[in-house]
Structure 1
Amino acid sequence: MIPGGKSFCTRHYKKVTHCLFDLDGTLLDSEVMYHTMIGQICEKYGKSYSKDNAVQIFGMTDREVSEEVCARTRLPLSVDEFERQLLDLARNKLPIAPEKPGADRLLTHLFDYKVPMALATNSTEQSVRLVSIARPKLFGMFNHMWTAASRTRTSTSWRRVASRTNPSPHNASCSKTPRWACRLQSRLACRSLRDFKPELFGLPPFNEAPPSTTVPIHHS
């Protein structure tokens, strides 16, 4: 999220004016699926895909994943062929990837209060299209979606993506934090999107009113 402007109800945080979201592991619980698919390909050729391998490919594009896995496991196939097989599996798996808890509620809340949002992911354009078609309401709330097709790593592209939201934020409000420094520099770290409290960042709180239990009266 990109803080900026004045806050009306916070103690330590500035008001959020724009939001940027990652995809895998943030909005969709798809990272586990990717590791499963990679493991299936490796197993087919008698190779093992370890947890250490999974850590090494964190945050990579599909192409980079293909290169890394082929090199580490010495698979008897080309990088192009591995990437093709990975995409073939993804066509069936990704559309059914479950949403991360709280994702729909948070995006809908931000959308309802007209907070511009963009998606920035190292996933391929094809992968983003697959999940977007499966969830048109969720992904239709984004002003802009950036994918690996732009050939710029997500970690270096936040300002570029933010500039494509409408209206775009001021440069002074955009900050880039390396992953290793997140624990030291993050404004707020949440275990789940369900734990995010909009009111801490100058936004209206979630409407947590319970559903009505009123029994309708039928007149004769």
Structure 2
Amino acid sequence: MLGGITVGLCNYLCMLLKPTRGIVFRNYHTVTHCIFDMDGTIIDSEVLYANVIRKICSKYDKTITDGLLNKVIGVTDRDISQMICKELEIPIPPVEFEKQMKDMTTASANTVPTKEGANKILNHLKSHSILAALATNSTGETVRMYAMAKPELFGHFHHMVSVDDAEVHHGKPHPDLFLVAASRFPAKADPKHCLVFEDSPVGVEAGISAGMQVVMVQDKRLMNTSLRKFKATLILTTLMDFSPEIFGLPPYNS
């Protein structure tokens, strides 16, 4: 009996320590619910946003640096507009910059690709009756825009929470979005039993502040950034590298 337990334990440890592109920062705990960010996590809209921002800046003979673009990854459209208008001294009000961003992204919504592995994990969770929610710094209008463009993908979510939701007082990096999302699961999910999927530093900070474990799917623009400062539970190159069983979720079929 003891030998069987020892072998089982060794196998489990080997599974955890097997070569992977993920980087572990703390112990894993079993979860019951999952919460996903939108931009850069399930859809590749961050690239679209970056291109739109560059085009708007160029209209006013301004050039945005990669460093400034990295600073606005994952933050709200309003904050993006305010930061860029201030830093680059763009001669329009931030609200006008935000409007131009909205108009240009809306025109290209149907061209935004789904992130690698997003359909796989969402289909898997749904097939095992694991509830998932969306929590994003984007507005409700933007969420609806992408949901209309990708109804099958967004149809996996039990509910979706946007930054302009009445119960959300502060966007990421504050924890509001994730706490509201957890509260809207049936019987209200305990934050410590929720697993967050994020791509941005502000999103990771929000998830940790909410008392949740966070899987960070690394944004390509952060490849040369020290990952350890983000304090995520796990960092992956792509959602395809995710192993559900290490968080107590049903494993993928081999």
Superposition TM-score tier, normalisation by shorter sequence? 0.7 to 0.9
- Aligned residue number for residue 177 of structure 1: 208
Q: Secondary structure at the match of 1:70?
A: helix
CA distance in 1, matches of 2:242, 2:123: 13
Deviations 1:35-61 (A, max 9, x none): 110110111111111112102212210
Describe how 1:34-113 pairs up with structure 2 within 5 A.
34-113=49-128
CA distance in 1, matches of 2:138, 2:12: 35
Over 3 Å counting, the alpha-carbon distance change for 1:181 and 1:146 in structure 2 is: farther
Query: What percent of counterpart residues are identical?
Result: 37
Q: Secondary structure at the match of 1:154?
A: coil
- Aligned residue number for residue 152 of structure 1: 170
Aligned-residue RMSD, C-alpha: 2.5
Unaligned residue ranges in structure 2 (runs of 5+): 1-10, 14-26, 196-206, 210-215, 217-225
Q: Secondary structure at the match of 2:164?
A: helix
CA distance in 2, matches of 1:116, 1:183: 30
Over 3 Å counting, the alpha-carbon distance change for 1:133 and 1:182 in structure 2 is: farther
CA distance in 2, matches of 1:104, 1:30: 16
Describe how 1:12-27 pairs up with structure 2 within 5 A.
13-27=28-42
Contact 2:182-2:190 at 8 Å conserved across structures: no
Larger Rg: 1
- Aligned residue number for residue 245 of structure 2: 199
Please, which of 163, 170, 178 is the counterpart of residue 183 of structure 2?
163
CA distance in 2, matches of 1:67, 1:34: 15
TM-score between the two structures when normalised by the length of structure 1? 0.81
Contact 1:10-1:201 at 8 Å conserved across structures: no
* Displacement after TM superposition at 1:109 (Å): 0.4
Structure 1 stretch 103-112 or stretch 152-161: which is displaced more?
Answer: 152-161
Paired residue type of 1:68: M
Contact 1:95-1:130 at 8 Å conserved across structures: no
Contact 1:120-1:154 at 8 Å conserved across structures: no
4+ residue runs of structure 1 moved beyond 4 angstroms? 9-12, 178-185
Aligned length in residues? 200
Contact 1:10-1:200 at 8 Å conserved across structures: no
Paired residue type of 1:120: A
- Aligned residue number for residue 140 of structure 1: 155
Over 3 Å counting, the alpha-carbon distance change for 1:86 and 1:66 in structure 2 is: same
* Displacement after TM superposition at 1:186 (Å): 3.5
Over 3 Å counting, the alpha-carbon distance change for 1:181 and 1:189 in structure 2 is: closer
CA distance in 1, matches of 2:183, 2:80: 28
